[in-house]
Amino acid sequence: MEIFVLFGSMTILLALSLPIGISLGFATALTLVYTDSVPLIMIAQNAFAALDSFPLLAIPFFMLAGSLMSYGGISKRLVTLANAMVGAVIGGLAMVTVTACMFFAAISGSGPATVSAIGSFMIPAMKAKKYDDDFAAALTAVAGSIGVIIPPSIPFVIYGVVSGVSVGEMFVSGIIPGIVIGLSLMALSYRIAKKKKYPRAEKNVAIGHAFKEAWWALMVPVIILGGIYGGIFTPTEAAVVASVYALFIGKYVYKELDFNTIYDAFKDAALVNGATTFMIGLSMSFAAFLAMEQVPARICEWMLSLSSSPAMILLIINILLLTVGCFVDNISSMIILTPILLPIVTKIGIDPVHFGLVMTVALATGFVTPPYGANLFVASAVSGVNMVRLSKAVGPFILVMISCLLLFTYIPSISMSLVWMLR
């Protein structure tokens, strides 16, 4: 009965459009009042204990680095480089959008941030060249989901903290899958562009010059991953280094950061991180109550009783993750579901790093699935396309994401080959 009260109240609160963090906190509080066996202070205690974590400090600093780079002119230089590389292809602006999102993903670690930074340039550019506005918005929303797959990635940090696996290994596992998703989206964009006769982009700058301009931005993932695997700093320290680097480049190299823009960058990062931290803390309390009620163990037993086939269990888990992603934020989903699902996959011999990648890709698909896809809301705000039209236009791209998800699920070497080399 306690579980019914917990999940029932959470569903009702989400249906009333309350923020996910508040919904999780209220649902946990109502259940504790109903059971009357655990004091309400448990919520605050678990939230505080969960946030008192050195690895979690990586999240605000990666957010700050992405914000500083966006204000510091890095996003537009990445767009220029992408244009020089692939703009001449049929549907060039669509290709530029995906490529720029892949570049920015290696900087920001956030899906919505990638959509906002790249979409503000590319959606108006595509609309000006007579691309359908719903196509432009849908493509940008889906391409932005690569932001949580190509390292650095905030969900990878969350998964590493909750599961205990190496954050560095999680970062490495996302490199090849992120590229595969990007190329798949480009292939679909090419097909649509050819069918609808979308124009090529105007190549305004030589690739050599564009690469030189974007060089400092492209060094960010090299510094982060190289520093982690070189033993120079931890993932959290890497996030701090990325923030300092972004500030230096924006201020002294590109010279687009002044006091006002630095203030705006810090303010934006603080606002987003405040909401995220609040949500993480209450998600941890929610997950702690699930553990107290032995829900993970029960679900593990039930799911293993359904089938002894690892392939079938992974399919069931993917369906669950895709469904949850339609309604719940990926960070909260990661915190709540990892303790439930990880024991199941380890029992059937799945590497926790591989599962973390699969889980992240599945939940990243939730960024673009109605009704609560965060990337859809950002793309809708930037483009002016209403959610109904956008939800229809995003359908083919979601199918590509799901196809890639199944590919990564059943061919572990795609995500794990680089990890195995570095172990």
pLDDT digits (tens, 9 = 90+) for 119-139: 777 888 888 888 888 898 889
Q: Are 112 and 361 in contact (CB under 8 A)?
A: no
pLDDT band at 421 (very low <50, low <70, confident <90, very high): confident
Is the model's pLDDT at 168 over the cut of 80? yes
Residue 404, domain member (yes or no): yes
Place of tokens 């969960």: 50
pLDDT band at 205 (very low <50, low <70, confident <90, very high): low
Least confident of 119-128, 136-145, 254-263: 119-128
pLDDT at 154: 84
CA–CA gap between residue 139 and residue 123 (Å, rounded): 9
For the chain, the residue count is 423
Domain tally, the chain: 1
Q: How far apart are the first and last CA of the chain?
A: 45
Is the model's pLDDT at 61 over the cut of 90? no
Mean pLDDT of 333-360: 90
Residue 19, domain member (yes or no): no
pLDDT band at 416 (very low <50, low <70, confident <90, very high): very high
Q: Which residue has the higher pLDDT, 203 or 263?
A: 263
Q: Work out the mean pLDDT of the chain and round it to a whole number.
A: 83
Continuous segment of H or E residues that includes residue 409: helix 395-410
CA–CA gap between residue 57 and residue 75 (Å, rounded): 24
Is the model's pLDDT at 341 over the cut of 70? yes
Residue 314, domain member (yes or no): yes
Residue 23, domain member (yes or no): no
Residue 122 phi, psi (nearest 5): -85, -35
Mean pLDDT of 269-292: 81
pLDDT band at 413 (very low <50, low <70, confident <90, very high): very high
CA–CA gap between residue 186 and residue 132 (Å, rounded): 16
Residue 288, domain member (yes or no): yes
The closest alpha carbon to 217, from 68, 59, 95, belongs to 68
Domain hosting 405: range is 39-422
Residue 20, domain member (yes or no): no
pLDDT at 404: 95
Q: Are 55 and 235 in contact (CB under 8 A)?
A: yes
pLDDT at 327: 72
pLDDT band at 391 (very low <50, low <70, confident <90, very high): confident
CA–CA gap between residue 74 and residue 77 (Å, rounded): 5
Is the model's pLDDT at 106 over the cut of 80? no
Query: In percent, how much of the chain has pLDDT > 70?
Result: 96
Is the model's pLDDT at 352 over the cut of 90? yes
Residue 9, domain member (yes or no): no
Is the model's pLDDT at 221 over the cut of 80? no
pLDDT band at 315 (very low <50, low <70, confident <90, very high): very high
- ∠ CA 150-155-158, nearest 5°, is 135
Residue 17, domain member (yes or no): no
Which of 46-55, 58-67, 161-170, 221-230 holds the top average pLDDT? 161-170
Question: Residue 156 burial (CB < 10 Å; 0-12/13-18/19+)?
Answer: buried
Is the model's pLDDT at 372 over the cut of 70? no
Place of tokens 């903290």: 161
**Residues near 392 by Cβ (< 8 Å), separated by ≥ 6?**
134
